[in-house]
Structure 1
Amino acid sequence: MINVKHSELAEICHKAAMFHSAEAAELEYLIEDQPGQTVLAIRSTEASGFLHNGGWRDILRDLRVFPTKHPSAGWGHSGFLKGADRVAKSLKGLISKDKPLVLCGHSLGGAIASALVPMLTNHGYLVAGCVTFGAPRVFIGGRKYCVEMVHYRHGKDIVCCLPPVWLGFRRCGVTLEVGRVGNPFPNFSDHSIKKYIRAIRAVERDTL
Structure 2
Amino acid sequence: MRKYLQFIVFSLLLSPFQLLFAEQDFSEVYSQAMLSNDAYLSLDELELALSEQNQVLLHKATIQSSQVNYFISEAAGVQTIGVRGTANLENVMLDLSVSLQSDSLLNIKLHQGFSGGAKAVYDDIKPYLSIDKPIHLTGHSLGGAIAVVLGMYLTQEGYQVEQIITFGQPKVTNVTGAEQFKTLPLIRVVTPHDIVPLVPPLSPLQIKELDIYWHMGSEVILMENGEYAETSGIKSAMRATKFTSSIPSEKNLVAHKMTTYLTLINALRESSEEVPYKTEISLFGFSLD
TM-score (normalizing by structure 2): 0.61
Residue 79 (structure 1) aligned with residue 113 (structure 2): yes
Corresponding residue for residue 176 of structure 1: 220
Task: List 4+ stretches of structure 1 deviating above 2 A.
Answer: 144-147
Q: CA deviation at 1:63?
A: 3.4
* Deviations, residues 3-52 of structure 1 (Å, cap 9, x unaligned): 9811011111111111361122310102121213111010012649x9xx
Corresponding residue for residue 63 of structure 1: 96
Corresponding residue for residue 193 of structure 1: 258
Corresponding residue for residue 165 of structure 1: 202
Moved more, 140-149 or 87-96: 140-149
Counterpart CA distance in 2 for 1:84 and 1:109 is 9
Corresponding residue for residue 149 of structure 1: 186
Is the partner of 2:193 in helix, strand or coil?
coil
What percentage of residue pairs aligned between the two structures are identical?
Answer: 29
> Root-mean-square deviation (CA), in Å?
2.7
* More helix by percentage: 2
Mapped contact 2:70–2:83 kept (Cα < 8 A): yes
Corresponding residue for residue 5 of structure 1: 28
Is the partner of 1:177 in helix, strand or coil?
strand
Q: Across the two proteins, how many residue pairs are aligned to each other?
A: 196
* Deviations, residues 160-204 of structure 1 (Å, cap 9, x unaligned): 1111133411111000100339xx997222001011111112222
Alignment gaps of 5+ in structure 1: 51-55
Change (3 A) 1:73 1:176: farther
Counterpart CA distance in 2 for 1:32 and 1:173 is 24
Change (3 A) 1:121 1:30: same
Mapped contact 1:156–1:185 kept (Cα < 8 A): no
Corresponding residue for residue 61 of structure 2: 22
TM-score (normalizing by structure 1): 0.84
Q: CA deviation at 1:73?
A: 6.0
Corresponding residue for residue 53 of structure 1: none
Residue 31 (structure 1) aligned with residue 54 (structure 2): no
Change (3 A) 1:73 1:110: farther
Counterpart CA distance in 2 for 1:31 and 1:73 is 27
Alignment gaps of 5+ in structure 2: 1-24, 44-59, 207-211, 226-241, 245-251, 274-289
Q: CA deviation at 1:148?
A: 1.6
Corresponding residue for residue 43 of structure 1: 84
Counterpart CA distance in 2 for 1:164 and 1:185 is 7
